[in-house]
Structure 1
Amino acid sequence: MAETRKASRFIVPVAVAGVAAATIGLVPALAASGDPDLPEITAQQLIEKIAASDTQTLSGTFKISTDLGLPSFGGLVSGLGGVGGGGGSSADPSEKLTELVSGTHTLRVAADGPERQKLTLLDGSDEYSLIHNGDDVWAYDSKSKEVFHEKAPEGAEAPADKEVPTTPKELADEVLKAAGDTTSITVGGTAKVAGRDAYQLVIKPKQTGSTVESVKIAVDAANGTPLKFTLASVEGGKPVVDAGFTKVDFARPAASEFTFKAPEGAKVTEGAAEKAAGESGEEKLPEEFEKGLGELEKGFGGFAEGLNVIGEGWTTIAKLDTGAPAPKTDEAPKELQGFLDSLGDKVTGTFGTGTVFKTKLVNALLTDDGRIYVGAVTKDALVDAANAGK
């Protein structure tokens, strides 16, 4: 069974090609439009090439840089002194891999089908490794010398798949799934990535109001595996996400890559014990601020009934009426208050008043009377939606 099942971390569903066929241009890129010189190919053919790829084994090194336009979290974490923390393992992947949402990181990756994957996050002389081998998932933080272990559910992939996309392939999958008639997909020449010849697939919204300027995916010309993923914002500056292999080998990694034995003296935390510790060690936010959040959560209790979707494609906005006033940030801890203020812009309109919490990719408008508008759209688009919904 495992031999016939493709590793979804590295395979784009064949259905993507069929969906995109009706919406993308079929004009081939000129072979001379980039380096190296490759045969002409249409966007349709390139997507079919990605869909037909069956890359299940590889090893390599890649860099991922993320810039959401957020202020530093460092002062917030130190100022709150662990508010809401549970004293869990520093090796827990659900916490450790959140580091990838900001800054620049170097990772080593290895894969041998759906049953064996390894990802190592390098940070100077320290390393964090996440290994999925059959029924076991191991994580090791060399800095704290802590080990996290849990059993993988039958047929499930490593926890890394449930957290954030990390390889260019995973990032490409997410974008290609969203392709539709609101999207322009073309071939934008060729490139050399990690010593491999590649075509550049360029994806752009046809609509105005999206925060996404373009997505570029460098696709291996020989086997159809995405080698680099770049997501650019309409705000310009550094890409929101720039992830690409600097070295890649498609040969099967040695079996020893996926074996793990806890170092002598290391603290080993089991997944179930970690969850129990988090629940028992939870700290409380100040009463009034927590009360405000509690009222907001009540509104989320009817999430399925209260959620409305406005627009389509890249300018889709989700609207939720919580039925409760927004929590007052001036009742939050001083450090958290400053952080929230740095994220938000006060706005007014016919809808009333509210705050837009912004990043370079996803923005959210929280009105003072408890309505939420969120999407990968500009601040003006959110305000317009709120005005129209008044």
Structure 2
Amino acid sequence: MAPYESDDMTTAGEVDEPSSRRRRAARYVVPVTVMGVAAATIGLVPAIADSGDPDLPKITAAQLIEKIAQSDVEQLSGTVKITTDLGLPDLGGLESSLASGAMERGAGDGEGGSSADPSAKLTELASGTHTLRVATDGPDRQKLSLLENAAEYSLIHNGKDVWGYDSASNAVYHGTVDESAEDRERQPPATPKDFAEEALKAVDDTTSVTVDGTAQVAGRDAYKLVVKPRQSGSTVGAISIAVDHRTGMPLKFTLTPASGGAAVVDVGFTEVSFDRPAASTFAFTPPKGAEVTEDGELDHGRKHSGKPENAPKPEEDLAKGLDGLKMLGEGWNSIATFDTGGEGGLPTGEAGGDLGGFLGSLGDQVKGEFGTGTVFSTRLVNALITEDGKVYAGAVTKDALVKAADAGK
């Protein structure tokens, strides 16, 4: 079957993104930035619970993409398994220590942190294997529960209310959202459909799209849509999306990197029902004795407390830098760049102390016409931080980042 090319072509060159949308999305999306980038470049391999190749009517890639676009599923519930292996460096006890500190701050003084704050809790999805229970009833009611050892974290959107509940610490987060399409973008990607919508945005003349047979996922017959970059220099190997043949609903995703090996991201339903969930699924009342933190209290605490743990969140600083975000190149070789406004790059030597040495050990030092910088690499996303404070990041090779920095000098 010949590759299908979308009519929506990516424009080469630099494109300025609207700053208001970035600021609004940063709070919830930036904590799962790695997941978001993976979503935009994700690939799917055959389902784990593949029980054979169903005999389904023939369909073209163009027809299958249209089937996904026309899918009108608004009610569902099920279990999603997500495994992420970005190849991040082993931080030893540092990661657990930071998590414990956040937990203590959230359950303790109440001035600036809450273990139920979704912007912090959902970062756990960026590594390891997790089981999620998901439910949705239209655009205004969703529930995502992260199942842990003897504990559970739930994020519930019901109308204008957003609730986060961490059973381990009996902590509750409460916020509100406007019932608008832009505010709904604040919800992090969690289901195969979320990832598919992002992945298909990459379909242009730099992309090959084909139908590669059928599979069975969560007991349902599905087609497999395979997406591959035509360009060299991308860290993405291929995309394959398992699409329910009856509803057009994406059921499973797995990212395979160009370097080979295990999947970077594997997201798929193990159980799914398209019946309307009970209204009680989205009802929430803070348990007796729970510490409830309002969203505004978190912001106030960070701005006015002198404690280091109550300083502005990293994603808030990043959001300021994203005001100048530009996209370079096209298709799978697109590179995001912005200026942090801080010269000197990473802290090194005596000025950087132990932190500078630690950060330097995680990256590779590079040189070019732009000067010097440090490249931080994962199995999918690479980022270059130059000595003059500029950042270049994308699902591209280290050499591609250096070339981009040289061209921008």
TM over 0.5: yes
CA distance in 2 between counterparts of 1:249 and 1:214 reads 28
Q: Letter of the 1:223 partner, please give it.
A: T
Contact 2:5 2:205 in 1 (8 A): no
The 2-side partners of 1:49 and 1:223 are apart by: 8
In the other structure, the counterpart of 1:49 is: 67
Asked whether the equivalents of residues 115 and 157 of structure 1 are also in contact (C-alpha less than 8 Å), the reply is: no
Correspondence for 2:394 among 348, 353, 375: 375
Q: CA deviation at 1:249?
A: 0.3
Residue 88 (structure 1) aligns with: 113
- Residue 138 to residue 158, structure 1, CA distance change in 2 (3 Å): farther
Residue 150 (structure 1) aligned with residue 175 (structure 2):
yes
- In the alignment, what sits opposite 2:243? 219
Cα distance, 1:195 vs structure 2: 0.5
| Post-superposition offset of 1:385 | 3.0
Quote the Cα distance in structure 1 between the aligned partners of 2:353 and 2:385.
20
| Residues 108 and 282 of structure 1: CA distance in aligned 2, closer, same or farther (over 3 Å) | farther
Deviation string 1:247-289 (CA, Å, 9 cap, x unpaired) is: 000001111111111111111111111221232345459xxxx
Q: Is the 2:112–2:297 contact (alpha carbons within 8 Å) kept by the matching residues of 1?
A: no
**Deviation of 1:194 (Å):** 0.4
Of 301, 304, 315, the residue aligned with 1:280 is: 304
- The 3-state SS of whatever aligns with 1:237 is coil
Answer yes or no: is the 8 Å Cα contact 2:78–2:271 preserved in 1.
yes
Partners of 1:22 and 1:386 in 2: CA distance:
28
Q: Do 1:114 and 1:157's aligned partners in 2 also have CA atoms closer than 8 Å?
A: no
* One-letter code aligned to 1:244: G
Instruction: Quote the Cα distance in structure 2 between the aligned partners of 1:78 and 1:337.
Output: 21
Describe the shift of the 1:369–1:256 C-alpha distance in structure 2 as closer, same or farther (beyond 3 A). closer
Please give the TM-score of this superposition, normalised by the length of structure 2: 0.77
- Residue 40 of structure 1 corresponds to 58
| CA separation of 1:332 and 1:52: change in aligned 2, threshold 3 A | same
Instruction: Report the equivalent of 1:263.
Output: 287
% identity of equivalent residues:
60
1:366 aligned onto 2:385 = yes
Question: CA separation of 1:194/1:364 partners in 2, compared to 1, >3 Å: closer, same or farther?
Answer: same
Q: Deviations over 1:315-363 (max 9, x none)?
A: 12244465823132343463x4455234311123344332111122221
5+ unaligned residues in a row in structure 2: which ranges?
Answer: 10-51, 106-110
1:54 Cα offset (Å)? 0.4
Partner of 1:20: 6
| 1:107 maps to which of 129, 132, 140 | 132
In structure 1, the residue matched to 2:39 is none
Amino acid at match of 2:329: G
Where do residues 6-17 of structure 1 align in structure 2 (5 Å cutoff)?
A: none
CA separation in 2, counterparts of 1:302 and 1:125? 39
Using the TM superposition, give the Cα deviation of residue 235 of structure 1 relative to its aligned residue in structure 2, in angstroms: 2.1
- Match for residue 58 of structure 1? 76
Q: Give deviations 1:115-150, integer Å, cap 9, x for gaps.
A: 211111001221111111122211111100111112
Equivalent residue, structure 2, for 1:140:
165
| 2:359 counterpart of 1:340 | yes
User: Relative to 1, partners in 2 of residues 1:210 and 1:127: Cα closer, same or farther, differing over 3 Å?
Assistant: same
Using CA pairs under 8 Å that are at least 6 residues apart, name the structure with larger relative contact order, 1 or 2: 2
Q: 1:379 to 1:328 in 2, by over 3 A?
A: same
In 2, the alpha carbon distance for the partners of 1:76 and 1:228 equals 33
Alpha carbons of structure 1 residues 345 and 141: separation in structure 2 relative to 1, 3 Å: same
User: 2:286, 2:234 → 1: CA distance?
Assistant: 47
1:232 paired residue number: 256
Q: Give the 3-state SS of the residue equivalent to 1:89 in structure 2.
A: coil
Equivalence for 1:208? 232
Equivalent position amino acid for 1:123 in 2 = E
Runs (4+) of structure 1 exceeding 6 A deviation are none
Secondary structure of the corresponding residue to residue 184 of structure 1: strand
Distance 1:262 1:226, change over 3 A: same
1:195 corresponding residue in structure 2: 219
User: CA 1:192–1:181 in structure 2 vs 1: closer, same or farther (change >3 Å)?
Assistant: same
For residue 203 of structure 1, give the secondary structure of its aligned residue in structure 2. Answer: strand
Q: Comparing 63-72 with 218-227, which one deviates more in the overlay?
A: 63-72
Name the counterpart of 1:125: 150
Give deviations 1:25-51, integer Å, cap 9, x for gaps.
Answer: xxxxxxxxx701211110001011111
* 121 and 158 in structure 1: CA distance in 2 versus 1, 3 angstrom threshold: farther
Please state if 1:355 is matched with 2:355: no
With over 3 angstroms needed to count, the CA separation of the structure-2 counterparts of 1:176 and 1:257, relative to structure 1, is same
2:190 alignment partner, one of 158, 162, 166:
166
- The structure-2 alpha-carbon separation of the partners of 1:125 and 1:320, relative to structure 1 and needing over 3 Å to count, comes to closer
For the aligned residue pairs, the C-alpha RMSD in angstroms reads 2.9
Larger CA deviation: 196-205 vs 317-326: 317-326
Task: Report the Cα offset of residue 374 of structure 1.
Answer: 2.2
Aligned amino acid, residue 174 of structure 1: E
The answer as to 2:268 corresponding to 1:244 is: yes
